[in-house]
Structure 1
Amino acid sequence: RDEAYRSKSVGVCLCFPDLYETGFANAGIEILYRVINRRDDSYAERAYAADSDLAAALRGRGWPLFSLETRTPLKDFDIVGFGLPYELCFTNVLEMLDLGGIPLKAHERGKEDPLIIGGGPCVINPEPLADFFDGFVIGDGEEIFGEIIACMKAWKGSGASRTELLKSLARIEGFYVPSLYAVEYFPDGRVRSVTPTAEGVPASVAYRRSSLEAMEAPVVPFVQTVHDRLNVEIQRGCPWRCRFCQAGFSYRPYRERSKEDLLQIVEHGLKHTGYDAVTLAGLSAADHTEIVPLLQELSDKFSLRRVSIGLPSTRADRFTLAVAEILHSVRRQSLTFAPEGGTERMRRVIRKELQESEIRQTLSTAREHGWKSVKLYFMYGLPTETQEDLDGIVHLVSDSVKQNRGLALTLTLSPFVPKPHTPFQWHPMDTLDVHRKKLQDLRKRLAASIRAHGLEQIVVEGVLSRGDRRCGALLEYAWRTGSKFDEWSERFHFNVWQKAFAETGLTPEFFSQRVRTQDEVLPWDHIQGGPDKRALWNDYQTALKQAQESLPEKPHLKERPTVAPSRPVVLTSEKPVQRLRFRLSRHGDVRFLSHLEQIEMIRRMVRRAELPVAFTSGFHPQMKASFGPAISVGYESECELFDIELTQRLEPGQAFEKLSQEAPEGFSVLKASRVPLFFPSLESLLNRVEYRVRVPQDFLHAGGADLPAGLEEFLARKELTLEKIRKKGTAAETTVKIDLHPLILGAEWIMEESSPVLRLTLRFGPGKNAKPEKIAQLLLSLKDEDTARLAVERKAFWIEKPDGTLTEP
């Protein structure tokens, strides 16, 4: 969007309070990004949490945190919206506000400051963050965000106060403004009341629900992310409503996309992204009413393109033979099942009604269809849990291992954390000591690989999930004393939180480890996040009653559908009939991509171009492609080479045009040519390389007049060596000296755009490599920090034949 459009539009920065690699695929950010950018009165950009080194660099230089697209400081947007997926990211929100140059507290912000909005799963109880946010979107954001933008646009030209803006926003259904509500407490710390303080502000805030938006192809990242595939939301909500699951109650009513819509979404998404894997995302994807025909048609359509289809965590009783046949047709994505409880009694209490025979049958089906490993999720510390329930986890796993030889089980063990707007919102959480004893007992007796959540982290999560506004002081103290990225176990410091508890006088015992009564005013009662409070209480009492009853003969709440066997998908490996070689250039910001990231980018280009590429056979088919020598991060290039093998003949010019249309910004296809199929690999042939090293003027003496003489003297040195550290940071670390004389085949200074450039021609091959910037550093006697400012471009590769002649690859 040009500057004229931006100046008269509402600018929104959508923020995810974690690293880019983790937050990129967040569905909420992705949906709102499309919704806002489709409008003609707004634009959206994105920002992510800065890692510790970047945060230090920003503060050291006095730079604010900025957006990804245009590097606009957060403070210069009209609206800054945060997705809040989990409680342990809350301190990152404060860090991003501070880095963005935005006043931390809502009451400290003036008319020139952006509106700070939160949304996502955690706003079902927004009170711990109330001090820091101007408002929260309660529920789905697709429709309400348009109303927020319209309200903001009208206010910008009105001259009204910020308070008037907040009052206008509070009248929008589903928008909560904490500053317009007063909270009173009993002397013992319980909430007495939460009441609105302005006219027209509702006593309770409705949960906003939207129809499912038509999905578009997502932005494709250059770097590898946690969910490096096409994620397609096939449903919202869950038909089961397990009693511990907040999403199952809040995301009501249950909604699905039709099979026809999903087929179009996947086709469009793959065409515009080049991904080779699709995940059908949902809280209970296997419960989609058309899941088997959907999977069958996706498999029929995309298996021959070697696109794999996967489901997230699946109920064990929904993993049918038909589903197994389809999911393993291309390559097996991981299988995850969540029994949650160790006994049928426990699973009935939490309304995860599965029979043990169904779980065992599911694992046998997975093994019989070629899966070598399966993930299982269990919870401990659940309401009414007994030792028998913990023993049930051990027996179920042990028996499954014996019955399924060759199937490796990986267990995730999670302590139960009561969540707002669920039947268990009144129930106490186990103490840290009790959790430790239970986990230690399970670890000792389970014969499987175990992953367990950090128990100290769970203490903090428990407090923040059911905390009130006073927890804002807890959050701020923890953040100011170094708490960031708390969801990462290696970065979590419990001692910081313990000190924060002590300084604020708040305790886990009060917020998460005590029994709450039916008549207690809960901090989130004024948020309509699920069923009526009385209905939840009755469901809670039903669970406690069921814990004491005998199991019914038919414990399931839903009938199991009968499904027909799937049509088998037979993958044939067509022999390649042609090899084409391509040369790419890379310039600008894409120079910071690693070699592996560049390879993945090229593979996606080839897929988007729909070239008839050949694949390897086996369980994990790969594109038949080979790539030139690795390029260092930070280098630009005019000679990135790769070969692909095709099952149909194409004219090089035709392939050039197809691939050029799919090259992302920063990359250009320079050449396409035929190469015989029997030729050796690129890397085995190349033995000469040319670099250009651009040197800043301020590095040079006397304007660079002495450069040629200095280079001549440098090359004439009797001993010309570079020191290189191998296996750095390990016990086997060694320093070796590299003799540069046989490696430097040519060196000269040239002028490009009035800047001196060192042109180097170097020997290339195994054990014969020297980095051009290190040669320039040695030549110019530069410090390491100055060497980092050298701009390096790889210009050309050559093949030198035994007779001394050179050919271009």
Structure 2
Amino acid sequence: MSHIHSALKEAANRKPLAIDGLYLTHGEESFGNPPWADASARFLVARLSPFRDVERSSPHAFLYRELRDAMPDAYIDFSFFPQGRDRTTLSELGVPFLHGVASARGGSDFDVVLISNAYTLELVNLPTLLVNSGFALSRKERARHCQPLIVLGGSNAFASAALHEDPRGGKGDSFVDAVYFGEGEGSVGRLGAALAAIHVGTERDRECALEKIADDFNGFWPTHAIRAITQGRATGPAFPESPPPVLSGEEAGTVRLEITFGCPGFCSFCFEGWERKPYRERSFDDIMAEARRLKRWTGADTVEVASYNFNAHERVVDLICELNTVFNRVNFMSQRADILADTPGLIPMEIAAEKRSFTIGVEGISRRARAYFNKE
């Protein structure tokens, strides 16, 4: 039986919460959702950090768009780990930490919980999130209690080993039911549909169903299984067709636009430089078409260019110029110092685009230090 925590939507009858802007703005049918009872499947996309810390990031919006493309009639909601002062209030209200901001329903009401893990330190929040929300800590116990599947992915998936017991020797318990490694563009939506189709059954029924999914999807590892995993790769350069969700917050006027996949470097200190291979660029025409769609869908006045090194794109100057005809402000962050130095006119172009702060990698230091860090 689904339970709506109406206190989240009634600010006058409780202490204020840090993300009341989400609770009071978004209703059950926000984010293009059908009525709860009519949904073909129900997904909760969860972040392990507070909204204020991940609002600028894009994984939850990416998961939403991929799921919506594959399942137009699915119910998709978001959950963010509550800030310290909110945890006391939520506990007093009897609201689980893991809950949807639009539906006001607890995580146990959903079919599948998808956890986006951005960095290792976030993982310490997972046990607290599960216990507070009525979930068993282990996948085996959740299967016995017919609780929703929990699947973890994100940029830190490769460093999530602390969550899992060695599956050898008949063990293989874990805080999560499965992990997805790698890029999910073009496959996450279909994977979500396959997960939602798993019906409640015994622990072994779940394991068999998850193993079947692993046969069909690279990058998907059921945590009980001893098997080789091939990293998931984006299936093509195309952007999702569904509009992104617009969450009520300080960054509602900013959209993210990914222009490249992976990184061409092999820096010894950098995780992504080794994990995200090969380096690929989206075409100028595809990027600009997506930029215009994002502007039309969201009305955003700012676009944030997403790339490990945005100035590695072969048409970076053309992109800066053209994006400034669509948006009032174009933000671009990390870039390589050697490309910046070796590309005539790039610095004046960035200054003309109102860039005033520069994030520069260590290739800008001495030759000896570059050799130590495996920088070209």
Could you tell me the TM-score, scaled by structure 1's length? 0.38
CA distances 1:162-200 after superposition (whole Å, capped 9, x unpaired): 3333333343432112222xxxxxxxxxxxxxxx2xxxx
Partner SS for 2:90: helix
Q: Could you tell me how far 1:68 is from its partner in structure 2?
A: 1.4
User: Is the 2:44–2:100 contact (alpha carbons within 8 Å) kept by the matching residues of 1?
Assistant: yes
Q: Pairwise mapping of residues 113-262 of structure 1 onto structure 2 (< 5 A)?
A: 113-130=147-164, 131-156=174-199, 161-172=205-216, 173-180=218-225, 196=226, 202=227, 204-210=228-234, 211-215=236-240, 217-225=243-251, 229-262=254-287
Counterpart for residue 343 of structure 1: 366
CA distance in 1, matches of 2:37, 2:248: 29
Q: Could you tell me how far 1:156 is from its partner in structure 2?
A: 1.7
Q: Could you tell me how far 1:79 is from its partner in structure 2?
A: 0.9
CA distance in 2, matches of 1:157, 1:82: 20
Counterpart for residue 352 of structure 1: 375
Could you tell me the TM-score, scaled by structure 2's length? 0.79
Counterpart for residue 282 of structure 1: 307
User: Is the 2:146–2:200 contact (alpha carbons within 8 Å) kept by the matching residues of 1?
Assistant: no
CA distance in 1, matches of 2:196, 2:112: 11
Q: Could you tell me how far 1:286 is from its partner in structure 2?
A: 0.2
Q: Could you tell me how far 1:228 is from its partner in structure 2?
A: 6.3
Say if 1:31 and 1:345 are closer, same or farther in 2 by CA, change over 3 A.
same
- Which structure: greater strand fraction? 1
Q: Could you tell me how far 1:325 is from its partner in structure 2?
A: 2.6
Counterpart for residue 334 of structure 1: 357
User: Is the 2:151–2:177 contact (alpha carbons within 8 Å) kept by the matching residues of 1?
Assistant: yes
Partner SS for 1:68: coil
Q: Could you tell me how far 1:265 is from its partner in structure 2?
A: 1.8
CA distances 1:421-468 after superposition (whole Å, capped 9, x unpaired): xxxxxxxxxxxxxxxxxxxxxxxxxxxxxxxxxxxxxxxxxxxxxxxx
Equivalent of 2:110 in 61, 74, 77: 77
CA distance in 2, matches of 1:52, 1:228: 27
Q: Write the letter of the residue equivalent to 1:233.
A: E
Equivalent of 1:56 in 73, 78, 88: 88
User: Is the 1:151–1:168 contact (alpha carbons within 8 Å) kept by the matching residues of 2?
Assistant: no
Unaligned runs of 5+ in 2: 1-33, 165-173
Counterpart for residue 323 of structure 1: 346
User: Is the 2:78–2:102 contact (alpha carbons within 8 Å) kept by the matching residues of 1?
Assistant: yes
Q: Could you tell me how far 1:154 is from its partner in structure 2?
A: 3.7
CA distances 1:43-102 after superposition (whole Å, capped 9, x unpaired): 321110011222112222322231012112111111111111111111122222223221
CA distance in 1, matches of 2:138, 2:308: 35
User: Is the 2:257–2:305 contact (alpha carbons within 8 Å) kept by the matching residues of 1?
Assistant: yes
Q: Write the letter of the residue equivalent to 1:25.
A: R
User: Is the 2:157–2:179 contact (alpha carbons within 8 Å) kept by the matching residues of 1?
Assistant: yes
Partner SS for 2:345: helix
Q: Could you tell me how far 1:20 is from its partner in structure 2?
A: 0.8
Give percent identity, aligned residues only.
26
Runs of 4+ in 1 over 4 A off after TM superposition: 157-160
Q: Pairwise mapping of residues 666-745 of structure 1 onto structure 2 (< 5 A)?
A: none
Q: Could you tell me how far 1:218 is from its partner in structure 2?
A: 3.1
Counterpart for residue 63 of structure 2: 32
Counterpart for residue 42 of structure 1: 74
Counterpart for residue 26 of structure 2: none
CA distance in 2, matches of 1:309, 1:35: 25
Q: Could you tell me how far 1:103 is from its partner in structure 2?
A: 1.2
Q: Could you tell me how far 1:153 is from its partner in structure 2?
A: 4.1
CA distance in 1, matches of 2:50, 2:201: 38
Say if 1:332 and 1:346 are closer, same or farther in 2 by CA, change over 3 A.
closer
Q: Write the letter of the residue equivalent to 1:135.
A: A
Larger Rg: 1
Partner SS for 1:268: helix
Say if 1:27 and 1:264 are closer, same or farther in 2 by CA, change over 3 A.
same
Counterpart for residue 329 of structure 2: 308
CA distance in 2, matches of 1:262, 1:219: 19
Partner SS for 2:45: strand
Q: Write the letter of the residue equivalent to 1:324.
A: I
CA distances 1:502-527 after superposition (whole Å, capped 9, x unpaired): xxxxxxxxxxxxxxxxxxxxxxxxxx
Q: Could you tell me how far 1:280 is from its partner in structure 2?
A: 1.5
Q: Write the letter of the residue equivalent to 1:127.
A: A
CA distance in 1, matches of 2:132, 2:232: 31
Counterpart for residue 560 of structure 1: none
Q: Pairwise mapping of residues 454-603 of structure 1 onto structure 2 (< 5 A)?
A: none
Counterpart for residue 16 of structure 2: none
Counterpart for residue 18 of structure 1: 49
Q: Write the letter of the residue equivalent to 1:124.
A: F
User: Is the 2:305–2:330 contact (alpha carbons within 8 Å) kept by the matching residues of 1?
Assistant: yes
User: Is the 2:262–2:279 contact (alpha carbons within 8 Å) kept by the matching residues of 1?
Assistant: yes
CA distance in 1, matches of 2:254, 2:374: 32
CA distance in 1, matches of 2:357, 2:253: 14
Q: Write the letter of the residue equivalent to 1:205.
A: I
CA distance in 1, matches of 2:303, 2:318: 16
CA distance in 2, matches of 1:126, 1:253: 22
Q: Could you tell me how far 1:330 is from its partner in structure 2?
A: 4.9
Which one is further off, 126-135 or 272-281?
A: 272-281
Q: Could you tell me how far 1:41 is from its partner in structure 2?
A: 5.6
Say if 1:213 and 1:137 are closer, same or farther in 2 by CA, change over 3 A.
farther
CA distance in 1, matches of 2:348, 2:215: 52
Partner SS for 1:156: coil
Equivalent of 2:131 in 86, 89, 98: 98
Say if 1:228 and 1:312 are closer, same or farther in 2 by CA, change over 3 A.
farther
Say if 1:136 and 1:96 are closer, same or farther in 2 by CA, change over 3 A.
same
- Measured on the aligned residues, the alpha-carbon RMSD in Å equals 2.5
Q: Could you tell me how far 1:351 is from its partner in structure 2?
A: 2.4
CA distance in 2, matches of 1:312, 1:237: 16
Say if 1:324 and 1:342 are closer, same or farther in 2 by CA, change over 3 A.
closer
Say if 1:158 and 1:133 are closer, same or farther in 2 by CA, change over 3 A.
closer
Say if 1:290 and 1:340 are closer, same or farther in 2 by CA, change over 3 A.
closer
